[in-house]
Amino acid sequence: MPDSSLSYLLYRSIWTGLDLLYPPVCGGCGKTGSRWCLECQQRVQVLKGTLCEVCGLPQNKTGVCDTCRVDRPRFHSLRAWAVFEDPVRKALHKLKYRRDLALGDALASHMTHFVRELNWNADVIVPIPLGKQRYKERGYNQVAMIAKPLALALGMEFAPKALSRRKETRSQVGLTKEERRENVHEAFQAGGGVNGKNVIVLDDVSTTGSTLSSSADALFRSGAKNVFALTVARALPHHGLRHA
C-alpha cells in the first residue's frame, strides 16, 4: 500500500489544480477565492461539551444518557464534527444536491484533527451507501466524497463497497424517531473486508442515529470487531427533531 501521506497529497493536488483552472466558491457563503473560506471556518459550531458516551448528544452529566441505557444503538459511539447549522448545512447541501464535489475534500481536511483526537484506533472508513435509484439520479455518493480524503489523511483504508443497501428507503427527513428506525431496519448488508477490523462508518448528517445503528448491525454481522459512527454534522433535538 502506498504511503498514505503521499497518496493524500496527490489526491489534494487534483482539487488544487482544478481550483487554478476554475476559481472556487466557498460552500458556506458563496464568496469567490476559496472552497471553505476563513470566515466560514470560524463560524463552524463544533459539537463539544458534555456528550453522551454512546449517542453523542449533549447532556448535563457525564456517561451514558438515559435513552441509550434503555435502548443502546449498535455502534460503540457516535460523534459529529459540527452542529447542523450554517455554514456547514449550506456546504453539505451544495455537495449533495449541486454537485460541488470539491467540498468533500475541503470538509474532510478540516475534520481530520477532530477525528484524530477521538483516538478510535480504527482500520477502515466505510461510507453510508446510497440506494441504487438515488445513486443513478445523482451519479455519485456525497458521503464517499468526504470519506475518501478523510481516510487518506488518517492513513486508513477506504472501503466504499463494504456496505450496500438491501432495500430502497424513504428519505429520513420529517420522520419521527420510531419511523426512522423502521425505515432503515435491516436496510444494509456488509460484504468482505471488515472481518476483525475496527470500522468507522461515516454519514453526512445524523439526527437520531438510526441509519448508523442499522449499518453498524450489518457490519457486526459481517465480522467487524468494533464499529464507530461518525458524521460531519449533527441535527440536535431543538432543531426540529420530533419525539427525540
Question: Rounded mean pLDDT of the chain?
Answer: 90
Instruction: Look at the alpha carbons of 59, 61, 66, 68 in this order and tell me if their dihedral is positive or negative.
Output: positive
Rounded mean pLDDT, 95-100? 94
DSSP H helices, 62-120, are 66-70, 88-97, 102-118
Residue 218 region, left (φ>0) first, then alpha (ψ -120 to 50), else beta? Answer: alpha
pLDDT at residue 174 in the model: 66
Domain spanning 4-239, CATH architecture = 3-Layer(aba) Sandwich (3.40)
Residue spans per domain, the chain:
4-239
> Is the pTM of the predicted complex or chain greater than 0.75?
yes
pLDDT at residue 4 in the model: 60
Q: How far apart are alpha carbons 146 and 66 in whole angstroms?
A: 32
Whether 3 shows a pLDDT value over 70: the answer reads no
Model confidence over 173-203: pLDDT tens digits?
766 777 777 767 777 999 878 999 999 999 9
Residue 201: alpha-carbon gap to chain centroid: 7
184: Cβ–Cβ under 8 A, 6 or more apart, which residues?
169, 172, 210, 211, 214
What are the strands of the beta sheet with 124-127, ordered from one edge? 78-83, 226-234, 198-206, 124-127, 157-158
Residue with cell 449533549: 58
Model confidence over 118-173: pLDDT tens digits?
999 999 999 999 988 889 999 999 999 999 999 999 999 999 999 998 877 767 77
